[in-house]
Chain A
Amino acid sequence: MNNETKAPRGVLAKSMGFSLALALLFTLVANLLPQVEGEAPVDQEVDLGALTMDSYVALGETLFSGKGTCALCHNDLGRAPDILAINMVEVANQHLQDERYKGSATDAESYLHESLVDPGIYVVKDYGKKGSNDTISPMPAVDKSPIELSEIEINAIIAFMQAKDGYDVTVPLPTEAAAAEPASPEVQKSADTIEAVVAKYSCQACHVILGSGGDLGPALQQMAGRFTREEIRQGIIAPDEVIAEGFPPGVMPQDLAEQMTVKELDILVDYLAGHGKSAATSPASPAATHAEGAVDSDTESMISSFGCLACHVMLGSGGKIGPGLDDIGSRLSAEEIRQSIIDPNAVIAKGFPSGVMPLNYSAQMSEMQLDALVDFLWERK
């Protein structure tokens, strides 16, 4: 029995036509919606010579909804405090009085700056990351990826937040000098000996290595038998992952591996693991080690070799463990500066812990070096 009939006509055309029509319907819907392009953020060209406070505030407003992506969360949908609807200066002052506040800001401007670059310092109630009990902020630091605002741009946003509610703007107008600051750290020549690496990264500021150094961190001697190369490498790349007993976490810079070249990291790891050799046949005395380098270099390189920048901000870079040194001359006399180097715990700057700065700098420096350093710092006004 053959029940076969002729194939129905037009099945292919009908099915294709139906499919195409449906796809076009979806396209139509997509084309009926608002057509907006999402441009990649571009750095604003700012004519600093012609910049007025009004235009600086306007720049801040543009950044608020543009490159800063603030408006993405800070709006009326409840994801984050609606900045445009609240008085931010007033709110900043309230938060500064809150017992939960643990930051170092002293006024509204510094609070706003702190909340932009380190949002986790104070998390507004009910706006913390889910499950964190308001201890972790979901907000990214605006000076880091993916937002990457410059200091000038951050200040522009602060100016906008102050001005929108009628307050005087306290952030200064940016200067040409501020704008000329390099966007990324200058790439220095790679150090090629263990002495040069130790000096460049100021390891002796906290650790005993090459026969001398501070006691803020554990001594870096006789590590070969106790740790593998990988463990030593990991200790440099992520120092807080394993903390030596009796030493506090969070002190050693977290970005050492990023600052180092591959060669420098290898030299350091090799040395600590017992595979590398010091350029000197025997450990030199601390003073001699530094004197050799310091005599031939200017004071700035001396500051680098003594590891000041590991804890202090100066000349556009440095850590935040100790107070900034760029205007130290306006705050302290030459004698006070000298005393702070020789006996750092005698007078502690407000807001900074005691017992952090090494006590043996006077032993590491020659008198000539100490004089040069004191003079140099006292001139920083």
Chain B
Amino acid sequence: MKETKNFSPPVLLSLLLVAVLGFLWSGDMVPGHWLPGAVASEVAAEEVATAEGADSAQELQLRPAPRPGREDYPDVGVSSRSIVWIIAQMHLFFGALVLAVPLFVLVIELLGRSTGDARYDDMAHEFMKISITAYSITALFGGTLALALFLLYPDLMAYLMQAFGAQMLVYAMLFFMESILLYVYYYGWDAMRYGNAKWVHLSLGLLLNGVGATLMVMANSWATFMMAPSGVNEVGAVIGNIWEVMKGPLWNPINLHRFIANIAFGGAVVGAYAAYKCLAARTAEDRAHYDWMGYTSNFIAILAFLPLPFAGYWLMAEIYAYSQQMGITAMGGILAWLFIVQAVLIGTILMAGNYYLWSGMSRTEGSKRYQGMIKYIAVVLVICFLIWVTPHTLILTSGEIAALGGSHHHLLGPLGIMPAKNIAVNLMLIFTFLSFQLYRRSDKVATVSWEKAGNALMVAIYVVAIVNIIFAGVYYGYFTNTVYKVGASVTQVVSTLVVIISGVVIDAFMYRKAKTLPSFWGQVSNRSQYALFALPIAFTWLMALMGYVRSSVRTHWHVYTVMKDNSPDNFIPTIGYAGNMMTIVTVMFVLFVLFIFWIANLSNTKQAPPLSVTKKAGEAA
């Protein structure tokens, strides 16, 4: 009965959102000052004179983007940007979580159905328990965000309403549908557990994910429209249809990047849940169960994380293609230093992920075969990490610059540019995959006749890929024109992908009928569980950081090139200020996640009846 309380906020908010958007879309909220004076009054006069709805729609369609002055932004006493920053980030964190969890839950459920192993089904259901509470919080933050945006940035929202029109209503209605599907999927789990009913349940899960993905790409189109507007002319007047407005040059790269990142993020958060439960377990069975759950979550998070940089490459390449100025603002301008923080965060994720895998090898005796390699992998990871965090330009006093002979150190300077970092990142990904491969092999002994040949092929692929990554990075990065530097990264990415794909394929065949060595779930150090806490903290911070970079490349534009940001917050804050904001949202997120974990536990807790009740029951019997 307690869980039914969750039902009301999202559904009510969906209805409210539909009503508010419908009202706003009717045009009643369009402020008069969003046009240059004379045109505004003229359009207003025309609006009065024109009674026919169709003509009004045409007039609206050809209005230029608003040009609000500073006085048009409501002053609420604190920074409007900070308010929206925090609320939007919280909504995005929880939105990512609730969109991602059902994705891998569906896969795990399908796995449970095909293997007949009830543990998968139970684990998938438990993951959904986390997602269901998170959904309510997502809806609450979403509603608050919409309110804050309309209150604090009325002109921008009026313009976005003009550009996207009925699409926003469709979004609200899909949100309503998502709520219904989510609740039926979760609460109907046990009612549709076996036989054909299970297929109905799986279909509901598929539908839920379809609606969720649609919601995500629709919301993404608002963000990418603000970065690279399409379907509008030079002054922002809407001249295209809704599809042309949505399908900007950055839409699909962002869709892919967010889709993958959400899965990695969701896996990391449920991994933290499992780690907490593992550490707090009272029985060996519980510890084993949550150790296994944590391993599965980490597997999901790291597997999704490995291709993420490649989606990032695509996104940045499209940003450069759209506007070189925007690309350089991100990668070589004022925001460039943020990529040093990004390196620290991704380094943390890879180190934590690797450490967890190495610790997990203690679960099986078979891992002794590979433990000797761990120290070499660790050395490579640390060296690559140090290269990645090496800045190109050093922070120096004038005396230090004089002593150094310039702002770039003659040895470390070359390590600060992208070719060196591309080598480091790709090698870190390859060696993380090696850790993963060794872990997966540690409880198995191959029985196929071609084991030696298979291993030799695998080693050869690793060697060729590593040599290729280093050669392409050094040759194209340091000895050719700048134009080829970006091209070299494609070769490197392909090399890394070849290792990952061929590794998965070779192992799938080589260990098909392998002898399995016993694994002892729960037989793992407590320290390894803290690696599972490090992952979501670093992921959350990273998401906040990259979202900030993505948003800040617009500099002083609400909608790049067509609608200027004239608010008091139209500057890019210092990295320190941004970092403080990221920590605030991360800590807030962690606190809310703890609340979710607590709620998830509370639903399993049953109070023992008081003595008087027991006595009465006994008498009645």
Contacts and interface: CB of A to CB of B under 8 A. Distances in A.
Interface of A: 3-8, 11-12, 14-16, 18-20, 22-24, 26-27, 29-31, 33-41, 69, 72-73, 77-79, 126, 129-130, 138-140, 144-146, 184, 187, 190, 237-238, 255, 257-258, 261-263, 265-266
B561 interface: yes
B332 A38 contact: no
A23 B574 contact: no
A30 B575 contact: yes
Interface of B: 36-39, 42-43, 46, 55, 58-59, 62-64, 233-235, 237, 239, 272, 275-276, 279-280, 282-285, 321, 323-325, 328-329, 332-334, 337-338, 340-341, 344-345, 348, 395, 481-483, 486, 530, 533-534, 537-538, 541, 552, 555-557, 560-562, 565, 570-576, 578-580, 582-583, 586-587, 590, 594
29 contacts: A3-B284, A3-B285, A4-B283, A8-B280, A15-B279, A15-B533, A19-B537, A19-B590, A23-B587, A29-B341, A30-B578, A30-B580, A31-B575, A31-B576, A33-B341, A33-B576, A34-B337, A38-B334, A40-B570, A79-B332, A126-B481, A126-B483, A130-B483, A187-B37, A187-B39, A237-B239, A238-B239, A257-B233, A262-B43
B541 A187 contact: no
A253 to B, nearest CB: 13
B62 A36 contact: no
Contact of A23 (B279, B486, B555, B583): B583
A292 B195 CA distance: 87
Contact of A184 (B36, B280, B482): B36
A34 B395 contact: yes
Nearest to B579: A30
A72 B276 contact: no
Nearest to B329: A72
A30 B586 CA distance: 14
A36 B337 CA distance: 10
A184 B272 CA distance: 56
Given A23-B537, A23-B586, A33-B341, 17 more contacts: A5-B282, A15-B279, A22-B534, A29-B340, A33-B337, A38-B334, A38-B571, A77-B332, A78-B482, A130-B321, A144-B234, A145-B234, A261-B39, A261-B42, A261-B43, A263-B46, A266-B55
A279 B452 CA distance: 92
A129 B317 CA distance: 12
Contact of A255 (B234, B284, B341, B537): B234
A113 to B, nearest CB: 20
B214 to A, nearest CB: 28
Contacts of A29: 340-341, 344, 579
A41 B55 CA distance: 38
B470 to A, nearest CB: 22
Contacts of A35: 574-576
Nearest to B561: A145
Contacts of B348: 22
A187 B38 contact: yes
Given A18-B533, A126-B481, A257-B62, A31 B579 contact: yes
A72 B325 contact: yes
A262 B321 contact: no
Contact of B283 (A5, A34, A39, A126): A5
Contact of A138 (B282, B324, B332, B578): B324
Contacts of B39: 187, 261
Q: Looking at chain A's contact residues, is the secondary structure mostly helix, strand, loop, or mixed? A: loop
Q: Looking at chain B's contact residues, is the secondary structure mostly helix, strand, loop, or mixed? A: helix
B250 to A, nearest CB: 15
B279 A8 contact: yes
B276 A33 contact: no
A73 to B, nearest CB: 6
A274 B338 CA distance: 59
B82 to A, nearest CB: 15
B583 A27 contact: yes
Nearest to B573: A37
A24 B583 contact: yes
A19 B37 CA distance: 53
Contact of A26 (B43, B55, B344, B552): B344
A40 B574 CA distance: 13
Given A11-B280, A31-B579, A126-B481, A265 B530 contact: no
B587 A40 contact: no
Contacts of A20: 587, 590
A255 B234 CA distance: 9
A41 to B, nearest CB: 7
B283 A26 contact: no
Given A5-B283, A38-B555, A72-B325, A77 B233 contact: no
A26 B345 contact: yes
B324 A139 contact: yes
A6 B321 contact: no
A95 B234 CA distance: 30
Contacts of A237: 233, 239
B498 to A, nearest CB: 24
B497 to A, nearest CB: 22
B482 A77 contact: yes
B237 A258 contact: yes
A41 B323 CA distance: 18
Nearest to A237: B239
Nearest to B418: A77
A73 B537 contact: no
A145 B395 contact: no
B575 A40 contact: no
B533 A19 contact: yes
B549 to A, nearest CB: 12
Contacts of B58: 262, 266
A26 B341 contact: yes
A59 B328 CA distance: 24
Contacts of B552: 38
A265 B62 contact: yes
A24 B586 CA distance: 10
B575 A33 contact: yes
A6 B283 CA distance: 9
A292 B596 CA distance: 78
Given A22-B538, A30-B578, A145-B561, A36 B334 contact: yes
A69 B325 contact: yes
Contacts of A7: 280, 282
A146 B560 contact: yes
Top 10 closest pairs, chain A to chain B, by CB: A30-B579, A38-B572, A40-B556, A78-B482, A145-B561, A187-B38, A138-B324, A35-B574, A31-B576, A38-B334
Contacts of A69: 325
B588 to A, nearest CB: 11
B65 to A, nearest CB: 10
A35 B572 CA distance: 11
B595 to A, nearest CB: 12
A3 B324 contact: no
A275 to B, nearest CB: 12
A322 to B, nearest CB: 23
B571 A37 contact: yes
A129 B318 CA distance: 12
A368 B58 CA distance: 42
Given A33-B395, A265-B62, A39 B280 contact: no
A5 B481 CA distance: 66
